[in-house]
Amino acid sequence: MPTLRSLLIATATVKVSVLAYAMWEAKQYRLRRVTVPVLAPGAEPLRVLHISDLHLTPSQQGKAAWVRRLAALRPDFVVNTGDNLAHPDAVDTALSALDPLLDTPGVFVNGSNDYYGPVWKNPARYLLPDSGGRVFGDPLPWKDLCQGFTNRGWSDLNNRSVDMKVRSQQILAVGTDDAHLDLDDYSEISVPDTPADVLRLGVTHAPYRRVIDAMSHDHLDVIFAGHTHGGQLCIPGLGALVTNCDLPVSQAKGLHRRDDNGWLHVSAGLGTSPTAPVRFACPPEATLLTLVPLDHTDFLP
C-alpha cells in the first residue's frame, strides 16, 4: 500500500515532468503547409508565409534563427499578425529575425503584446473565460518596430487597406488594429469593390467575431489572424480549451471555411508570454499557405 509520502513524491514527479515537457514543446518550432483554392481560374499559385505571435525577447536567439531560416522557403508574400515583442529591447531582435523576409512583399498588424510588455498572471486565468479586464505591462517601442517594417516595404494594415501587386496577382489587403485592446475600427477602412480576379485579404491579430463578421461582409477571400496560440495548453485528441477571444475553440488554429464561403486561417503562433513559457499538445508554428485557383483539383485543406 503506498504511503502518503510516496503519493506526494509521485504527484510532484508527474507535475515536474509535465512542466518540463511543456517548456520543451514551446521550443519545437514547425512549419505547417496548407493549400487554399481561392484564386481566379488560371491564376499562378501564390505562396503566403503567415507568421504570428513571436513574443520575442533579446535572449531568444534560437527562435530568431529559426524564423530567419524561413526565408529559404522563398515565399511570394508575408503576413505578420502581430505580438512580435515581449521585451522593451526586443525590436532589434525582431527586425533581425525577420530581416531576410523583409525583402519579400508583406503586410502586418499589431497585437496587444506589441504595445505592452508582459506581466505575471495566474496561469489558471488563461483557461478561464475572458472577463474583459486587462492588465498592462510597461509600454513597448512598437512605433520603432512598425517603422522598421515599413522602411523595408511592408505595409502597415492597422485599420487600413492597401492595393498591391505581387508577381502577377493583384491584391486588396484590409487590416485592423488589435481587437483584444478594442483598437479595431473597421469603419475607418475603405473597402472597395474589386474585379473578380483581385485577391481580397483580411489581416487582424485577435480574431474576435465582430472583426471576422465585418470582413466576411466585405467578401474577403482569406482572413489571417493569430492571438489564440492555438489554445496553447491543449488536451491531446480533444484540442483547445480556450481561444482568448470569442472565436469558437474549434477554430483555435488552422484553416477554416467561413459561412460566407471565404476562408479563415488562424496561426497558433511561434511564441508565448515569457511569464508562461509552456505549450502542451500545441507546438509553435508558422504556416506556408499555397493559394491556388478555385478550379484546382488536388488540394488538402
Asked if residue 177 binds Fe ion (CB under 5 A), the reply is no
Of 175 and 262, the one with the shorter C-beta distance to Fe ion is 175
Q: How far apart (Å, rounded) are the C-alpha atoms in residues 84 and 75?
A: 20
Q: C-alpha grid cell for residue 100?
A: 531576410
Toward Fe ion, which CB reaches closer, 30 or 167?
Answer: 30
Does residue 31 contact residue 289 with C-beta atoms inside 8 Å? no
The window from 50-58, 62-70, 182-190, 256-264 that contacts Fe ion (CB under 5 A) reads: 50-58
Q: Which is nearer to Fe ion, 83 or 178 (CB)?
A: 83
Question: Is residue 184 part of the contact set for Fe ion (CB under 5 A)?
Answer: no
Residues in contact with Fe ion, total (CB under 5 A)? 2
Q: Which stretch binds Fe ion (CB under 5 A): 17-25, 48-56, 71-79, 151-159?
A: 48-56
The yes or no reply on residue 218 touching Fe ion (CB under 5 A) is no
| Residues 52-91 within binding reach of Fe ion (CB under 5 A) | 53, 83
Helix (H) or strand (E) holding 11, with range, is helix 4-25
- Indicate whether 178 belongs to the interface with Fe ion (CB under 5 A): no
For residue 197 the three cell numbers come to 480576379
* Cβ-based nearer residue to Fe ion, 216 or 251: 251
Q: What is the 3-state secondary structure (H, E, C) of 131-194?
A: CCCCCCCCECCHHHHHHHHHHCCCEECCCEEEEEEECCEEEEEEECCCCCCCCCCHHHCCCCCC
Determine how β-strand 160-166 pairs with β-strand 169-175.
antiparallel
Closest CB to Fe ion among residues 200, 229: 229
Contact between 221 and Fe ion by CB under 5 A: the answer reads: no
Q: Which residues bind Fe ion (CB under 5 A)?
A: 53, 83
